[in-house]
Amino acid sequence: MSRFLPWLFVALLTSVPLWLNDFYVLHVMITTGIFIIAAMSLNLLLGFTGQLSLGHVAFFGIGAYTSALVSLGFEVHLLPDFTVGLAPKPVWFAMLCAIVVAGLTGYAIGKLSFRVRGAYFVIVSISFAEVVRLVALNWVELTQGPMALNNIPALVLGADAFELSFLRKPAVYLLVLATAVACYVIIARLVNSRAGRAMIALRENESLAMSVGIDVTHYLVVATVVSAGIAGMAGALYTHYIRIVDPDIFLFIYTVTMVIMVITGGKGTLAGPIVGGALFGFVPEALRAMAIEPEVQWIIYGVLMVAVVYFLPRGIVPAIEHYMSGRKRSPAPAASEASQK
Amino acid sequence: MIAQAETVLSIDQVAVHFGGLIAISDMTFSVCAGEIIGLIGPNGAGKTTAFNVITGFLKQTSGDVRYRSKLLNGMKPYEIAKLGLARTFQRTSVFQERTVFQNVLTGLHCRGRSKLWDTLLQTGRETSSERELVDAAHEILRFVGLEQRAYEQAGTLPYGEQRLIGVALALAVKPSMLLLDEPVSGMNPSETARFVKLVGKIRDSGVTILLVEHDMPMVMEVCDRIVVLNYGRIIAEGTPAEIQSNPEVIRAYLGQGKKRA
Ligand SMILES: Nc1ncnc2c1ncn2[C@@H]1O[C@H](COP(=O)(O)OP(=O)(O)OP(=O)(O)O)[C@@H](O)[C@H]1O
Ligand SMILES: [Mg+2]
């Protein structure tokens, strides 16, 4: 029964464009969905390997800029007589580039964190996001700086009679949903495997992990690459939906939002970022819709966050799981070692 | 049985300095295949430090460590574990938030055959490899006697059982040599008695054992040979009977209050 529940949930979400005609709500669902994907990617690092990356938005922003630039084309003069340029490419290709470039950045950061763990890693990751933001702001020839990259094309798949355009909201919504499901499956398979156990071992006890032959650094790099690639994909979805990108995409507040989503939902659980992401994606919009003063909105938002963390320190999903397992002392799960589902 | 067996581990003139503090001054000894060797000495004598050097958690200041004639100097802990040299930790050490079963499954890491692609695409190799690991995990749990606890969270178990998880994790590496750092500290007498039997079973399965322990009756009972360390120096080496009657050992160690919490 509980095996089909997630798919029932997905089916329900898929049906949304059929009966929901409110485009504003659909817009909120799209942006929330994109943030949930980003939060899921952060959770792979924060929740499973236990490393706090406070520069996570950098991967998101790099994905957004890469996809925008590849789809728009660019030309930069690196030296007086040396230019690098790229003709506009199809959006699907640009999105793949976004995943690859973000993943490569993740690789570099993962390798770096081999030397710097803990507090240093937090500082390095924040600085990294800030550096990327300054580059986006000041390398005007490439990024248009604060003028932003405009008229970013929407995703179009196929051609002629079989053309599938992701310009309208219902189509974008389904694209985001499909991506979210794919990312969920990737992360679920990863964390319930040998590689995932190695990542969790790094979180739980690094020395013990090494003592049983686990190359923890290797798995940290794997986690960072996958996490960065997924965040890059989220960024690409965002750019081709909003169709404008400026350096504000790298603001620290977005990382904080992702961290809040992961922590309140329950870090280290697969459903956590979805629950937390939905909560903190919809609540601000709901408050705005109720036409409450902005100051009051922020106060309610803050109180809600503190309340969740105070009363459910491990997050909403673990609290629910705990409640459920207390009600029916479940028999041991047979062969499956999957505790997060 | 000690006589001219093959040497598996040899420590050659190893010294470890922490700044001005000399944790190990000059240590030389070797362990033969199939032996159970005890490494004893007062608190701070350098026993754990020796373990850390052998298993790559600490770099020695000078000297060589060889395992099956392979030089271990500069190797990383996970590389040394892969050679079949496993250890437990003095401080109770488990993957707290995970079940006992998941702990052992994690310990079986190196026996898994699946690659990242197998995992993402859920190939046949992924499923067959995972099934092998699950079977192996149950076997190890049965071996150490934790089968009943398999699905309990490791961090919530009593101290003695957590120490057994540590041993199960080390056994998961499929070691040919096992280093145990005070395995029975925190165990009650009946648990200790059961542990002594387990040590015998492990040795009978062909594993060489180096044991650090403060519980003298236990050490005297299980060890073939004992090395005594004091202030980072080996002061005696011999059979349990020889050690018990060695005046220097009695002065340094056995005579004084021997137990620490
Ligand atoms: N990382 C370290 N940095 C500095 N000094 C250390 C370090 N590790 C151990 N020492 C010191 O080295 C000496 C030997 O310590 P070690 O832990 O090896 O002793 P031990 O024989 O295992 O003692 P015990 O029986 O209490 O476990 C001690 O004086 C200890 O304080
Ligand atoms: Mg010690």
Which SS3 state, helix, strand or coil, does residue B150 take? Answer: coil
B159 Cβ below 6 A of ligand 1: no
Looking at residue A165, what is its pLDDT? 76
| Cβ-based burial of A82 (10 A; exposed 0-12, middle 13-18, buried ≥19) | exposed
**Could you give the CA distance from residue B59 to residue B75 in angstroms, rounded to a whole number?**
9
Handedness of CA A229, A231, A235, A237 (dihedral sign): positive
Tally of CA atoms within 13 A in the half-sphere of A208 that contains its CB: 32
**Could you give the CA distance from residue B25 to residue B27 in angstroms, rounded to a whole number?**
7
Q: Do A189 and B119 touch (CB under 8 A)?
A: yes
B23 Cβ below 6 A of ligand 1: yes
DSSP string, A321-336: HHHHHHHS-PPPP-S-
Contacts of B82 in chain A (CB under 8 A): 213
CB contact at 8 A, A45 and A223: yes
Rg of the Cα atoms in chain A: 21
Handedness of CA B170, B175, B181, B185 (dihedral sign): positive
Over residues B202-246, the pLDDT tens digits come to 999 999 999 999 888 899 989 999 999 988 888 889 998 888 888
Beta strands B36-40 and B208-212 are parallel
Looking at residue B1, what is its pLDDT? 46
Q: Name residue, tokens 């006992």.
A: B100
**Could you give the CA distance from residue A246 to residue A35 in angstroms, rounded to a whole number?**
17
CA of B167 to the centre of ligand 1 (A): 22
B250 Cα to chain A: minimum distance (Å)? 34
Q: Which residues of chain B have pLDDT under 50?
A: 1-2, 257-261
Residue B24 CA: nearest ligand 1 atom is 14
CB contact at 8 A, A136 and A247: yes
A243 Cα to chain B: minimum distance (Å)? 32
Residue type, A272: G
CB contact at 8 A, A273 and A43: yes
Which of B77, B119, B150 lies closest to A193 in CB terms? Answer: B119
Q: Does B128 touch chain A (CB under 8 A)?
A: no
Q: CA torsion, points B204, B208, B210, B213, in degrees to nearest 10?
A: -10
Nearest ligand to the CA of B24 is 1
Instruction: Please provide the distance, in angstroms rounded to a whole number, between the alpha carbons at the two ends of chain B.
Output: 35
Q: Do A337 and B96 touch (CB under 8 A)?
A: no
Looking at residue A338, what is its pLDDT? 43
CB contact at 8 A, B97 and B153: yes
pTM: 0.89
Q: Is A320 left (phi over 0), alpha (psi -120 to 50) or beta?
A: alpha
Handedness of CA A211, A215, A217, A223 (dihedral sign): negative
Nearest ligand to the CA of B215 is 1
- What ipTM was assigned to the predicted interfaces of this complex? 0.90
**Could you give the CA distance from residue B15 to residue A107 in angstroms, rounded to a whole number?**
38
User: Cα A123 from chain centroid?
Assistant: 20
Q: How far is CA A286 from CA A17, A179, A291, A297, A300, in A?
A: 19, 25, 9, 10, 11
pLDDT by position in tens, chain A (length 341):
567 888 888 888 888 888 888 888 899 999 999 999 999 999 999 999 988 888 899 999 999 999 999 998 888 877 777 888 888 888 899 999 999 999 999 999 888 876 667 777 788 888 889 999 999 888 877 888 787 788 888 777 777 767 777 778 888 999 999 999 999 999 999 999 999 999 999 999 999 999 999 999 999 999 999 999 999 999 999 999 998 888 888 888 888 889 999 999 999 999 999 999 998 888 888 888 777 787 887 788 888 888 888 888 888 888 888 888 776 554 444 444 444 43
